[in-house]
Chain A
Amino acid sequence: MKEISFMLNSELRSVSVEPNEVLLDVLRDKLGVKSPKCGCERGDCGACTVLLDGKAVRSCLVLAVEAENHSIITVEGISVEKLSALQEAFIQFNSFQCGYCAPGIILAVTELLQAHPKPTLEQIKESIAGNLCRCTGYTPIFDAIMALTKEEGK
C-alpha cells in the first residue's frame, strides 16, 4: 500500500492504494466518486473517461498510483455550483438515454471545447469516437454541441 495525494475535483485527497489498482476502481470504491463508469475494462468504450491534468483519459487503464500530484476531474467536479452550458445543452437536446455513457462523453467534449470552442462536426465526432453510446445514435449529442457552440458565437 502506498499513500498518494492528488487534486480530485479541486479538493486535495489522500488515499492508500496498491500498485495494481486502477484509477477507476480507486475513484469509485475508495473515494466515493461514482460518475466514471466501468463498461469494458480495456479502453474500448470510454465510459470511465476522466480528465487527467485536463486531458481525457481512460481511468480503467491508468494505475491509481500515477495520479499522485496530478489533477483529476470527473463530472461531479463540474456540477458543484451549477451545470456547465454543455451539460444544460445535453439535457435540452435529450442527448442521453440510459445515461451510462454520459459522464464520459461530457468530459471528452469538455476537453474538446477547451481546445476548440467552435468545433466542426468532424472534430466533435473525432473527440467522442471512442465513447460508445448504444442508445442515442449520437445525433442528439452532435445537435447539442453544435447548437451550444453556435450560440456562443452570437
Chain B
Amino acid sequence: MAIAHEFNYERPQSLHAAMELKDSYRNSALIYAGGTDLVVNIKEGMLKPELLIDIKDIPELHKLCLDNGTLYIGAAVTFMELIDTDFVEQACQMLHDAAKTVASHGVRSRATLAGNICSAVPSLDSATPLLCYDAVVHCQSLEGTRNIPIGDWFLAPRKTAIKDNELVTGISLKIPKEQNAGVYLKLGRYGGEDLAQAGWGIWLNNAKQYRIAHCALAPTPKRAFAIEALLNGKELSPELIQTAIALLDEEIKPISDIRSGKEYRMHVSGVMLKRGLYAAKDRLDGKIVEPAKLLGGI
C-alpha cells in the first residue's frame, strides 16, 4: 500500500545534528528507528509528520553494554539484539522474556526498545521489566539532558513525558547485586504474536523483596506497589498469594476491548500473579522456567 501522506526524510550522522532537526521541527518531526509502529501509523493516517529523523546512523545510539551493574540500551538497539545478547539475558531475564514476546522475529529485527516505550500503548510488554528495574529513560535536546525515571514516563495511553524537542538516547537499568530473579508472563489470544490481554512482570530477591508490574490492565503500564508492600519480607504461601490477589481490585483497572473482556482480565491476573510469583521463585532457586508455557495453550 502506498503511503498517501508525503514527508521528508533525514538521516543525521551525529546526535547533535539530530537534536538540531528535532529542535527546529518540534512535533512535526518524528524519530524513526525501526519504524515498525511508526510506518503503520503513517500509512493509516494516524500520524502525519513533516519529517522523519532516522537515527540509525548515529553510532552512540547503538550502544548496548553492562557496566558497573548498569545495563545500558541505546535508542537504536533492536529487540533482536537484546534477545541475542547473552549478558542481557543473564542480567535481566525478565527483559529477555518480554523482548521475546514482542511481535515476531521479522519485526523484532527492526523494532527498538526505545521506540516501543515511546509508543506508550497500554499493552507494552517491555514496560514491565523497565518498571521492575526502575529504569531511567535518557532524553536529550539542545537544552541538555533529562533522565526520566520510568515511573514518570508513561502519562496516558500513547502519551509520554518526552518534550517536543527531545529524543530518547537510551535507557538504563540498575541490575541488583544480590541474588534475584524475574519473569514476564504474557497472556495472548493464541500461540502466535499478539498484543497482551494481560502482562505481569514479577521480580524478587533472596531478601524476599518483591517488585511487580503489569501492562494492558490500566491506561498505562504500572507497578503494583500495594501488592509489593504486602509481599515484602514474606515467604510465598497459598494464603499470602490469595491475599495478594484480593488486592487486584484496587491495583488494576482493566477495560473490555477486542482482545478481552475486563472480567477475564481481572480473573486471569490473579492466575498470572500466582503462577508468576512461583515461577520467579523457581528461577531464584535455579530452576528452568519457560514463561510462554506457564499459562497453557502451547
Chain A: residues with CB nearer than 8 A to chain B? Answer: 2, 18-22, 25, 38, 41-44, 46, 49, 55-58, 60-63, 65-66, 108, 126-131
| With contact pairs A22-B3, A55-B80, A61-B39 given, residues A43 and B107 touching in the complex (Cβ less than 8 Å) | yes
Bound CA–CA A22/B107 (angstroms): 15
Q: Are B110 and A46 in contact (CB under 8 A)?
A: no
Q: Are A19 and B106 in contact (CB under 8 A)?
A: no
Q: Are B105 and A129 in contact (CB under 8 A)?
A: yes
Q: Are B39 and A19 in contact (CB under 8 A)?
A: no
Judged by a CB distance under 8 angstroms, whether B9 is at the interface is yes
Q: Are B105 and A58 in contact (CB under 8 A)?
A: no
Min CB–CB distance A51 → chain B (angstroms):
10
Q: Are B39 and A130 in contact (CB under 8 A)?
A: no
Q: Are A62 and B35 in contact (CB under 8 A)?
A: yes
Q: Are A129 and B192 in contact (CB under 8 A)?
A: yes
Cβ 8 A contact of A61, one of B35, B56, B80, B104: B35
Cβ 8 A contact of A46, one of B5, B9, B40, B104: B104
| With contact pairs A43-B106, A61-B110, A130-B103 given, residues A20 and B36 touching in the complex (Cβ less than 8 Å) | no
Closest to B10 in A: A19
Cβ 8 A contact of A19, one of B1, B8, B35, B44: B8
Q: Are B105 and A63 in contact (CB under 8 A)?
A: no
Q: Are B54 and A131 in contact (CB under 8 A)?
A: no
Q: Are B1 and A63 in contact (CB under 8 A)?
A: no
Chain B residues with Cβ below 8 Å from A20 are 2-3, 5-7, 42
Q: Are A63 and B52 in contact (CB under 8 A)?
A: yes
Bound CA–CA A108/B108 (angstroms): 13
Bound CA–CA A5/B107 (angstroms): 24
Bound CA–CA A126/B42 (angstroms): 28
Mask, B81-105, CB within 8 Å of A = 1, is 0000000000000000000000111
Mask, B18-46, CB within 8 Å of A = 1, is 00000000000000100110011011100
Bound CA–CA A108/B104 (angstroms): 11
Q: Are A130 and B104 in contact (CB under 8 A)?
A: yes
Chain A residues with Cβ below 8 Å from B35 are 61-63
Q: Are A108 and B105 in contact (CB under 8 A)?
A: yes
Judged by a CB distance under 8 angstroms, whether B193 is at the interface is yes
Chain A residues with Cβ below 8 Å from B2 are 20-21, 25
- 8 A-B contact pairs sorted by A residue (CB < 8 Å): A20-B42, A25-B2, A46-B106, A55-B80, A61-B107, A63-B35, A129-B191, A129-B192
Bound CA–CA A154/B40 (angstroms): 45
Q: Are A127 and B3 in contact (CB under 8 A)?
A: no
Min CB–CB distance B43 → chain A (angstroms):
6
